[in-house]
Amino acid sequence: MMQTTLIAILLLVDAGLIYAFWQFSRRRTIEADVVSELADERRQIEDLRTSVRREIAEGQARMREVSDRVSRMAVEAEQEVKGSGSVMREEVEKVLSGFGGTLQGPLAELAARQEQVLGLLRKLESERNLLRKLLARAEMMCKALDEKAPFEEVMSEMREKKYTDARSLLAQGNSVPKVAVEVDLSEAEVRLLAGIAASSGKSL
């Protein structure tokens, strides 16, 4: 009975030792795998760093090359512009001179048309003044034919209207003979009105 118990205990101890050794061996294997994976990761990182450094160096070299090329092109373009400045100026002057010759005809025609329009406007203004005078005279004639209006009052208004028109025409710079014909007054009366207007202007 005692021997059987001892054998059983020894077997359990051996089984425990075997299990412990197995666990230890398994842990060592896992640790070895982890170390191997870490080493692989480190090698990959180093390779990546090397590749990145190489690409950065190549990019910097390309940038320096492009910068140098652009600088050379800028210098060449500046020299070319300076060299061709006189030629471009001559070409521009030729184009502008041709353009001016092309516009000379239309501009002259435009000026002629403008003068025609101004002439029409002056003629219209003159006709409007004439119509205004005719209307005023017609109004005066209607008053003269009106039995209710005193004849002397009507004649006085007609005379005053002529004087007013004469003063207005003189102020516009018209000559005495022309004003006399326009307002149907004698030149003496128009000269008298002109003298009165001149005296009033001096007194002011």
> Which pair of structure tokens corresponds to residue 77?
């373009």
In the chain, where the domains are located: 124-203
**pLDDT one-digit tens code per residue, 22-32:** 666 666 666 66
The residue among 118 and 101 whose pLDDT is bigger is: 118
Q: Are 171 and 197 in contact (CB under 8 A)?
A: yes
pLDDT tens per residue across span 60-116: 677 777 666 766 776 666 666 565 555 556 665 665 565 555 556 666 677 777 787
> What letter does residue 184 receive in the DSSP assignment?
T
- The reported pLDDT for the residue numbered 178 is 87
Of the given ranges (46-55, 61-70, 79-88, 118-127), which has the lowest mean pLDDT? 79-88
User: Average pLDDT, stretch 140-164?
Assistant: 66
Cα distance between residue 65 and residue 77, in whole Å: 18
